[in-house]
Chain A
Amino acid sequence: MAGRGVGTWLREGVWEIPLRRYLALLVTAAVLAGLVVGVRVVLHDDRSCAPGVARPEGSDECVGVATTAFDFGHPQLRDTVQAIARENARLKPGSYVTVAVMLPYTSTATANLADIEHELQGAYLAQYQANHDSNGQSPVIRLVLANPGATSQYWQRMVTQLAGMTGGTDRLRAVAGVGQSTDNNKKAVKELTRLGIPVVGSSITADDLANGQGGKDPYPGLARVSPTNTDEARALASFAKVSAGRALLVYDKPGDPYTRTLQTSFAALIKGSPYEPQPFTPPADRSQEGTTANTFRQITNLVCDTSRTTDTILFAGRHTQLRQFINALGGRGCQDRRFTVLTGDEGSYLTGEKKLDRSALGHNLSVRYTALAHPDAWGTGSPRTGGSAADMATLTGLLKSAEKAPVGPIGTVALEDGQLIIAYDAMRLAVHGIREAVPEGKSVPALADVGLQWPQVKGSLRVDGASGWICLDAHGNPYDKAVPIVELRAEGGSRFVRIAWPEGKPPSGECLPPS
């Protein structure tokens, strides 16, 4: 039997004998399966970042809903997401409902990132407070981080994921945050609310990302914590006594929902102004520098050309463009003339902005804006209604305990930009809605019932937010919400000026919006 090759051996020594054949087939199948798995592991472009979070094709952004301690590549978020994960891990499945904090976590702009960190901190503090300091009210709250991408480009993906989390043990009952009033976010909110998921906007101020505009409710189940741009503009007007002859409007063209509503509100205030409103066109991603700096230099010349009675510039634009404008004004020809730039809550981004030419603020230029909230807003001189220092003190107490375990650490905290406060309030409003919707004898509310609670948040059912009372009108918009007017300081940071009211005065004690 010389010359028996491997082939013969395989044929006669293995294949012909059924036992060996089947064993060999099993081994071969196992080896092949191992190879396939191995090759797939080696070749597979692993696009997942963490459970629930993955990179879409053609993108490096980690998009989706993070249910674990995933910091989206930003170390500064790490402490907070870990604190949230700790708190989430403590909860027993079945006892909690989930609230997603929707923010553009993968944004790379420093200012945005600081905002995100602060909002997340606020949301976490509200979660902690809801789960620990509310007399064992149920259900307890689990936080997850929903990221639609830096420009919310992947909102659809995120919404699909969120919609899938309404059942099961996740029981998503609300989405809080949302971030800026961009078109993508508008679509996301539209889709979320269409799917019946209640949304609580924290820092959105655009008029058209709200219900009740023109008598329509395009976002059923949307509640907002911040006043609309219109309300902010009204508050600004009531504060600054702006009149048509003394103000010039500079606006973003074509703008986004935020800038457009601000522009519209400003335009209404200075109706009949002798000066034509000055447009500028920023890049699509408004956190990018673009070429608008040149435009602003030209506008600065126009500003100096106005009559000397003109001392107010109304700016309807985003913070990057605001910074460029301020820097341009710092180099204006008419340094002797005093100007006040009034703008919306985007001004708050500049409190820590490194690229801002702060010397400009010393040359007869003050920048005042409507903050969403401010830590100094409530003190001894505050009105008796519309908010209280005590509500703010609760938050500062929480912040103090969050400096160390078990609550913290949650990273460095900054209150001046108001993001932490407003996110905390938004989260509290969400928790309030969820818990109010719990039927008698049950511990978990139906998804549809949460959004129905918003019109009831008024009177004694109002939420005493750290930023002021939150009383919602029939469309889920805050009624006569306190609007802190803040001024940028030349030496950095901001200075609280005073509270302004959209209605011109604080709300009554009952805090009931007029029907």
Chain B
Amino acid sequence: MHRRLHGRGALFDVEPAGLVPRLVGLRPYQHRALPFEHPGELPFVVLTGARGLGKSAVLAELRDAYKGHTPVALVDCADEQFAAPPPERPAASWSPLAQALLVVAEQLAEPVTGAGRITFPRLMSGLVAVAAGGWGDADSERIRREVERILLLNESGSWISGFAGRWAGKVAAKVVAAATGTGPLVSGAIEATLESIAEGFSSRRHQKASVWYRTYPNAGGHAQRGLILLSGHFRAGGTSREHAERYLVRALLADLTEAYAGVLPRMQRLGRPLVLADNVQTGPGPGLVEAVLRDRAEGIADQVAFVAGLRGDGRELLRGGSRRELAGVARRSEWTPDPAVPSSRALLVALPPLTPDDTLHLVAAPAAPQLPHAVHRLTGGNPLGIALLAEAAAQHPERAGSLGGLLTADVQPVEDGPAAPAYLRLLDRLVPADRLDELTVLAAAHDHDSACALAAALLPDDFGPADVRALQNRLAREGLPAVPGQFVGDPFVRTLLLLRLHLRDADHSGWRTAHETLIAYYTEDRPDGQARFRLHHQLALGQSGPAVAHLRDGFPVLDTRSWLHTLRFIASAPYFHAHDAEGRDFTGQGDRRAAVALGRTDAQQRVPGGVDGVLHLRIRRLLHAVWLLTDPLVLPDPKVGDRLRFELEQLSNLRPAGNALLWRASRDWPAAALAGRPPADPEDDDERDEGDDERSGVA
């Protein structure tokens, strides 16, 4: 089969049919019909999720799966062509949605197996009318260029194509003449278009199309008047333009409906046409979604299968939409619209991260059998991250032993382009490009206040607390999880950002400054509960002494559970670069944590006076073991795992009260680390409490 996407079977499966095959009524990659799930009205499917969860990949795959079998169009609403009108075109006669409709129709028109091109006479008339509004001072060459592209929508491509080509040329000439001549411009162009439609094609279909605009409000039964009104509304902008745009969308859908109506089309065409719109949160996307949903809510039915990609969870755009997990729609979507709420006609399907098994299939690394698990632990199942790391591992098999090595390796893109380090290429796709620098710094922060402190120290002056909050909201809107205790909730993105911060300056000065700022922010006079933040950043800079002291002193007095939390939080400090014994950056490669964890440096270690030397060294070994084993960039070392178990066992003997928790951690943590899972909480499920926060924060 053509399974190039892993973990998306709920959308693509054939037997039993997945969501999209059920809606389109065709098996993917095959020209074989399937029964429709919603034979009457079908849901507007919106795939939701943060960046990198594979929405675009799913849509592209859907396009490939159905291309040539049913009319299919794929538009990326974030594409540049929808951002602004072409240079010479006035904004009054151009809108992202109108442009998107033209692009969609051009793609849908392509012939498919068993049936020829689809013509869009209604949309063509409407677009000509809209474009005519901007021809006030245009030269005839520009008019001809614009109108000819639109007229091609009516190209049937059949054996009379020679005739149709002549027709397009004739109409273009007529329209140009009407537009550049004297007299009311718009009506002249519209009249010429309508006349040509009525003249050039005598079939019932085209006659029906030529009178479609009669029903435009206030048109009074005259199609021409309807088009003039449409053009006027479009130029007026604001809600009037929205109204006109809705009519254009309706024209597209009516043309599609017409293409599927009648005995002959029904005997030639299988399934439904498929429109794929990526990034509908931006550009023409919201307008398109709303127009379709409103028309459907008002009973103007169509049989077009829409699948859209939406960054975030869509709570703003589609508040009333039906929400489903991907696995929940694998067999049946069980969707019924609420007649009162147009947005309930959307079916929002959240794309989940990939499973460890999917990762295993994607990352083929015979040299490093633990790599797939480690990749999954690092990326949290993010498909983009997995795919790029797999690519990096394929291009640099010698670095497959270290995820840090893979992330910093230059990866040659599959398509032509300059090679770039993997972590930068991932950041390009996973965070808003315009806020990458700010996020790079703020990734080290833990909440709004600490972020503000960082911004004040490291970011330009014009980036104030309000901007910090706006950025925080934006991340939430884009679907990144909001996690208390971390400014950037997604561990994978945070790791990448911190890596960028670390590597931004050759001497790591930015990185150092950021951590020092936070160390200063979390001063020692703060409440004891916040000491772990300071210790976390100190450890990130290589200073393990304060952390060891804090843990050692807290062990006898602190509650075992919170002690373990603190240990894990502190040990989640990033370790991108080797440190020397004093915590200074070490020029060579290598990771000294293993040596410390295994007790090889105990001899050189000077135990502070007045403390239990054995406990001190044990805590130190334990801290380094946890630090190493929970580091997502490092493949787990079984020897360190054994050592971790041993140290925790020993500690459990010292604390009869917390014996059970410590003992269970001694079993669970090494196992989880070796399996590529984040370490599980040592509590029973029914004993969960506020500790969730910290657990989620551990990458």
Which residues between 79 and 97 of chain A lie within 8 Å of chain B, taking CB atoms?
A: none
A11 and B30 CA atoms in complex are apart in Å by 10
Contact call B32/A18, Cβ cutoff below 8 A: no
A-binding segment of B75-83, B249-257, B262-270: B262-270
Q: Chain A 1-45 against B: per-residue CB contact (8 Å), 1 yes, 0 no?
A: 100000000011100111110100000000000000000000000
Q: Which of A1, A11, A20 contacts B29 (CB 8 A)?
A: A1
Which residues of chain A are within 8 angstroms of B266 by Cβ–Cβ distance? 18
Asked, given contacts A12-B30, A16-B31, whether A22 binds B267 with beta carbons under 8 Å apart, the answer is yes
Which residues of chain A are within 8 angstroms of B33 by Cβ–Cβ distance? 16
Q: Chain B 10-52 against A: per-residue CB contact (8 Å), 1 yes, 0 no?
A: 0000000000000000000111110000000000000000000
- Tell me if A's interface is mostly helix, strand, loop or mixed: helix
Closest-by-CB residue of A relative to B2 is A1
Which residues of chain B are within 8 angstroms of A13 by Cβ–Cβ distance? 31, 113-114
A–B pairs, 28, beta carbons within 8 Å: A1-B29, A11-B32, A12-B30, A12-B31, A12-B32, A13-B31, A13-B113, A13-B114, A16-B31, A16-B32, A16-B114, A16-B270, A17-B113, A17-B114, A17-B115, A17-B267, A17-B268, A17-B270, A18-B266, A18-B267, A18-B268, A19-B114, A19-B264, A19-B267, A19-B268, A20-B114, A20-B268, A22-B267
The list of the 7 closest CB pairs from A to B, nearest first, reads A12-B31, A17-B114, A19-B267, A18-B267, A19-B268, A16-B32, A16-B31
Chain B residues in contact with chain A, CB under 8 A? 29-33, 113-115, 264, 266-268, 270
A11 and B32 CA atoms in complex are apart in Å by 8
Which residues of chain A are within 8 angstroms of B268 by Cβ–Cβ distance? 17-20
Which residues of chain B are within 8 angstroms of A12 by Cβ–Cβ distance? 30-32, 113
Q: A12-B31, A17-B267 are in contact. List 4 more A-B contacts (CB 8 A).
A: A12-B30, A17-B113, A17-B115, A19-B268
Closest-by-CB residue of B relative to A21 is B267
Closest-by-CB residue of A relative to B112 is A17
A18 and B29 CA atoms in complex are apart in Å by 19
Closest-by-CB residue of B relative to A23 is B267
Which residues of chain B are within 8 angstroms of A20 by Cβ–Cβ distance? 114, 268
Quote the shortest CB–CB distance from A444 to chain B (angstroms): 55
Quote the shortest CB–CB distance from B346 to chain A (angstroms): 30
A16 and B27 CA atoms in complex are apart in Å by 11
Quote the shortest CB–CB distance from B542 to chain A (angstroms): 55
Quote the shortest CB–CB distance from B297 to chain A (angstroms): 33
A1 and B69 CA atoms in complex are apart in Å by 12
Quote the shortest CB–CB distance from B158 to chain A (angstroms): 15
Which residues of chain B are within 8 angstroms of A11 by Cβ–Cβ distance? 32
Q: Most chain-A CB neighbours within 10 Å: which of B113, B264, B270?
A: B113
Quote the shortest CB–CB distance from A469 to chain B (angstroms): 81
Quote the shortest CB–CB distance from A15 to chain B (angstroms): 9
A243 and B264 CA atoms in complex are apart in Å by 101
A16 and B25 CA atoms in complex are apart in Å by 12
A18 and B31 CA atoms in complex are apart in Å by 12
Closest-by-CB residue of B relative to A19 is B267
Quote the shortest CB–CB distance from A9 to chain B (angstroms): 9
Quote the shortest CB–CB distance from A442 to chain B (angstroms): 58
A309 and B97 CA atoms in complex are apart in Å by 138
Which residues of chain B are within 8 angstroms of A17 by Cβ–Cβ distance? 31, 113-115, 267-268, 270
Quote the shortest CB–CB distance from B518 to chain A (angstroms): 56
Which residues of chain A are within 8 angstroms of B270 by Cβ–Cβ distance? 16-17
Closest-by-CB residue of A relative to B271 is A16
Which residues of chain A are within 8 angstroms of B267 by Cβ–Cβ distance? 17-19, 22
A348 and B268 CA atoms in complex are apart in Å by 83
Which residues of chain A are within 8 angstroms of B113 by Cβ–Cβ distance? 12-13, 17
Closest-by-CB residue of B relative to A17 is B114
Q: Most chain-A CB neighbours within 10 Å: which of B114, B115, B266?
A: B114
Which residues of chain B are within 8 angstroms of A16 by Cβ–Cβ distance? 31-33, 114, 270
A18 and B115 CA atoms in complex are apart in Å by 11
Which residues of chain A are within 8 angstroms of B114 by Cβ–Cβ distance? 13, 16-17, 19-20
Quote the shortest CB–CB distance from B66 to chain A (angstroms): 12
Q: Most chain-B CB neighbours within 10 Å: which of A1, A11, A13, A16?
A: A16
Closest-by-CB residue of B relative to A11 is B32
Closest-by-CB residue of A relative to B266 is A18
Which residues of chain A are within 8 angstroms of B264 by Cβ–Cβ distance? 19
A22 and B31 CA atoms in complex are apart in Å by 17
Closest-by-CB residue of A relative to B68 is A1
A12 and B33 CA atoms in complex are apart in Å by 9
A19 and B265 CA atoms in complex are apart in Å by 9
Quote the shortest CB–CB distance from A351 to chain B (angstroms): 81
Quote the shortest CB–CB distance from A159 to chain B (angstroms): 57
A212 and B266 CA atoms in complex are apart in Å by 82
Which residues of chain A are within 8 angstroms of B32 by Cβ–Cβ distance? 11-12, 16
A20 and B270 CA atoms in complex are apart in Å by 12
A1 and B33 CA atoms in complex are apart in Å by 18
Which residues of chain A are within 8 angstroms of B31 by Cβ–Cβ distance? 12-13, 16-17
Which residues of chain B are within 8 angstroms of A1 by Cβ–Cβ distance? 29
Which residues of chain B are within 8 angstroms of A22 by Cβ–Cβ distance? 267
Quote the shortest CB–CB distance from B116 to chain A (angstroms): 12
A20 and B268 CA atoms in complex are apart in Å by 8
A439 and B392 CA atoms in complex are apart in Å by 113
Quote the shortest CB–CB distance from A317 to chain B (angstroms): 82
A475 and B226 CA atoms in complex are apart in Å by 102
A12 and B32 CA atoms in complex are apart in Å by 6
A148 and B71 CA atoms in complex are apart in Å by 74
Quote the shortest CB–CB distance from A13 to chain B (angstroms): 6
A182 and B30 CA atoms in complex are apart in Å by 79
Quote the shortest CB–CB distance from B71 to chain A (angstroms): 15
A16 and B70 CA atoms in complex are apart in Å by 13
Quote the shortest CB–CB distance from B578 to chain A (angstroms): 49
Which residues of chain B are within 8 angstroms of A18 by Cβ–Cβ distance? 266-268
A16 and B264 CA atoms in complex are apart in Å by 14
A13 and B30 CA atoms in complex are apart in Å by 9
Closest-by-CB residue of A relative to B265 is A19
Which residues of chain A are within 8 angstroms of B115 by Cβ–Cβ distance? 17
Quote the shortest CB–CB distance from A93 to chain B (angstroms): 47
Q: Chain A 162-205 against B: per-residue CB contact (8 Å), 1 yes, 0 no?
A: 00000000000000000000000000000000000000000000
Closest-by-CB residue of A relative to B29 is A1
Q: Most chain-B CB neighbours within 10 Å: which of A1, A17, A22?
A: A17
Quote the shortest CB–CB distance from A1 to chain B (angstroms): 7
A259 and B270 CA atoms in complex are apart in Å by 87
Q: Most chain-A CB neighbours within 10 Å: which of B29, B33, B266, B267?
A: B267
A211 and B113 CA atoms in complex are apart in Å by 84
Q: Most chain-B CB neighbours within 10 Å: which of A19, A20, A22?
A: A19
Quote the shortest CB–CB distance from A346 to chain B (angstroms): 79
A16 and B267 CA atoms in complex are apart in Å by 9
A16 and B271 CA atoms in complex are apart in Å by 11
A17 and B267 CA atoms in complex are apart in Å by 6
Closest-by-CB residue of A relative to B264 is A19
A17 and B265 CA atoms in complex are apart in Å by 10
A18 and B266 CA atoms in complex are apart in Å by 8
Closest-by-CB residue of A relative to B114 is A17
A17 and B115 CA atoms in complex are apart in Å by 9
A17 and B33 CA atoms in complex are apart in Å by 9
Quote the shortest CB–CB distance from B270 to chain A (angstroms): 6
A18 and B264 CA atoms in complex are apart in Å by 9
Quote the shortest CB–CB distance from A348 to chain B (angstroms): 79
Closest-by-CB residue of B relative to A22 is B267
Which residues of chain B are within 8 angstroms of A19 by Cβ–Cβ distance? 114, 264, 267-268
A12 and B270 CA atoms in complex are apart in Å by 10
Closest-by-CB residue of B relative to A8 is B30
Closest-by-CB residue of A relative to B113 is A13
A19 and B116 CA atoms in complex are apart in Å by 13
A315 and B376 CA atoms in complex are apart in Å by 124
A74 and B240 CA atoms in complex are apart in Å by 100
Quote the shortest CB–CB distance from B271 to chain A (angstroms): 10
Closest-by-CB residue of A relative to B64 is A1
A365 and B15 CA atoms in complex are apart in Å by 107
